[in-house]
Amino acid sequence: MDHEPTELSMLKSNSLTYMLRCIACGLLLSGCVVNPVTGQSEIGLVSTAQQISIGRQQYLPAQQMQGGLYKVDPALMAYVSGVGARVARFSGANLPYEFVVLNNSVPNAWALPGGKLAINRGLLVELRNEAELAAVLGHEVVHAAARHGAKQIERGYLLQGAVLVTAAAAGDSGVSDVLLQGAQTAAGLINQKYGRDAERESDYYGTRYLAQAGYDPYAAVSLQETFVRLSKGGNSDWMQGLFSSHPPSAERVSNNRGLVATLRREGYEGGEFAADRFQAATANLRRALPAYEAADAARTAMHAGDYREATTLIGKALALQEGEAAFHGLRGDIRFKQKRFDDAITNYDRAVARDPDYYAYYLGRGRARAEQEQRDGAKADFNRSLQLLPTTIAYLELGKIAEAEGNLEAAEQYYAAAGVRPAP
């Protein structure tokens, strides 16, 4: 209760800033917009249509660079989408919301402008009930609905990225360099820090949506308590994931407690936690956890050069979850490091057969094929990987093939796209 005036006065003190900004933006003959979450007027240089367009353009590269979609359990994806839609309905912003589960062990969640959201499987396994999931998604929904990403662009933090996105959309460049930069835009958008005011706003309104959607808002408190506890463990996965953009704090816990008390007084009682439904929906994921832990350990062993250990561990992961494309892809990576290129190609084939929409399997197979002088197959693989995610390495490899084929002009273009100056 003590914390409620603090929270509200902080939100209100912003409104003066917004008013001053809007006076300024009026002078610049730019339009003010009403923030659909807060109801306040503010500068709106990036329109809703532009936010939706940025979100649509950056969603695929953002997913790709974060491990791709978690495909072995389609029911889980549908479940998370349902929970997200239930909360997002209260955001006041009419955005084409989308929610996906990413195949990534790092506990994280993010939102792009325009309502394109993602949660990693590594965060799902840390939650206890559906209301906590709704709290995570509600918080991210506010980042999109309250234009937090758009404001970062307006402030110039992501200006370069925004300009490049426009260039790519207009198609006036035709140069793949722009796409490469576009991937950096996606990285900037998902890794950005919105600032404390935006985080407070997301906690505040996200928890309100949680209650309005029929969940017990106390889940926002228990979630933050879990985060504070985990942050004390110093787990590096958390530090590079959610905690890098959302440092847990006693202040956030107490702010959320104060808000829950307010919501109770407003009559939000008897909401559900839906722990059983959540446990049932995530049962396969939790059962498969040892397989993913083995695969993560296999990757660590591979990077350390211990291919024998890496092979044993990925074998263990595959025995537990044979349908996971990423495990076949990782075995391909290990075989590639061992210069067993035929075996690597076989493993990448299996990965592509299970998930034809992840860039890394094509990139890996292309490199193995290039080693085997299978140039046409390699080129097709590199081009497919570039459609999914522009990477420097794919352009470099295409440049090397073009050079080997005597096509120096094409080679130069590929090297330029990769950001590498050709030798004089």
| Beta strands, E only, 141-290 | none
The minimum distance between CB 286 and Zn ion, in angstroms, equals: 25
Asked if 391 interacts with Zn ion (CB under 5 A), we say no
Site for Zn ion in 244-263 (CB under 5 A): 246
**Helix or strand holding residue 42 (H, E):** strand 41-43
- Considering only the stretches 86-94, 198-206, 324-332, 360-368, report the one whose residues sit in contact with Zn ion under the rule CB under 5 A: 198-206
CB of 149 to Zn ion, least distance (A): 11
The question of whether 140 is a catalytic residue gets the answer yes
Closest approach of Zn ion to the CB of residue 142, in Å: 8
Kindly tell me which of 146 and 291 has the beta carbon lying closer to Zn ion. 146
Q: Tokens for 390?
A: 């522009």
Question: Residue count at the site for Zn ion (CB under 5 A)?
Answer: 3
Asked if 313 and 302 count as a contact pair (C-beta separation under 8 A), the reply is no
Q: Is 133 helix (H, G, I), strand (E, B) or coil?
A: helix
Binds Zn ion (CB under 5 A): choice among 40, 181, 202, 262: 202
CB of 171 to Zn ion, least distance (A): 33
- 245 or 372: CB nearest Zn ion: 245
**Closest distance of CB 185 from Zn ion, Å:** 19
Token pair 């402008």 is at which residue? 113
Q: H helices of 65-156, where? A: 74-88, 121-124, 130-145, 148-154
Interface region with Zn ion, contact rule CB under 5 A, candidates 175-183, 193-201, 262-270, 367-375: 193-201
Query: Which residues within the stretch 228-247 sit at the binding site for Zn ion (CB under 5 A)?
Result: 246
Convert residues 53-92 into a mask of x (bound to Zn ion by CB under 5 A) and - (unbound): ----------------------------------------
Distance between CA 21 and CA 14 in Å, rounded?
10
Contact track, Zn ion, 104-133, x by CB under 5 A: ------------------------------
What is the maximal distance between C-alpha atoms in the chain? Answer: 76
Please identify which of the residues 42, 98, 140, 154 carries the catalytic annotation: 140
Distance between CA atoms of residues 332 and 349, nearest Å: 9
Strand partners, 116: 98, 112
Minimal CB distance residue for Zn ion: 202
With vertex at residue 315, the alpha carbon angle to CA 307 and CA 335, rounded to the nearest 5 degrees, is: 40
Q: How far apart are CA 53 and CA 36, in angstroms?
A: 18
Q: Which is nearer to Zn ion, 202 or 282 (CB)?
A: 202
> Which is closer to Zn ion, CB of 144 or CB of 178?
144
User: Between residues 202 and 224, which has the closer beta carbon with respect to Zn ion?
Assistant: 202
Would you call 420 exposed, middle or buried from its count of C-beta atoms within 10 A (0-12, 13-18, 19+)? middle
Neighbours of 156 (CB within 10 A): 9
H or E, element range at 118? strand 116-120
- In the complex, what is the shortest distance from the CB of residue 75 to Zn ion, in angstroms, rounded to a whole number? 27
Q: What is the dihedral of CA 260, 101, 120, 358, to 10 degrees?
A: -160
Q: Which of residues 358-377 bind Zn ion (CB under 5 A)?
A: none
| 100-108, 201-209, 369-377, 405-413 -> range binding Zn ion (CB under 5 A) | 201-209
Strand, coil or helix: 102 = strand
Q: Which residue has the tokens 């008897």?
A: 270
Nearest approach in angstroms of CB 143 to Zn ion is 6
Nearer to Zn ion, 7 or 199 (CB): 199
Q: Using the minimum distance from each CB to Zn ion, give the nearer residue, 180 or 198.
A: 198
The two tokens of residue 260 are 């829950």
Beta partners for residue 101, in sequence order: 119
What is the contact surface with Zn ion in residues (CB under 5 A)?
Answer: 199, 202, 246
Residues labelled catalytic = 140
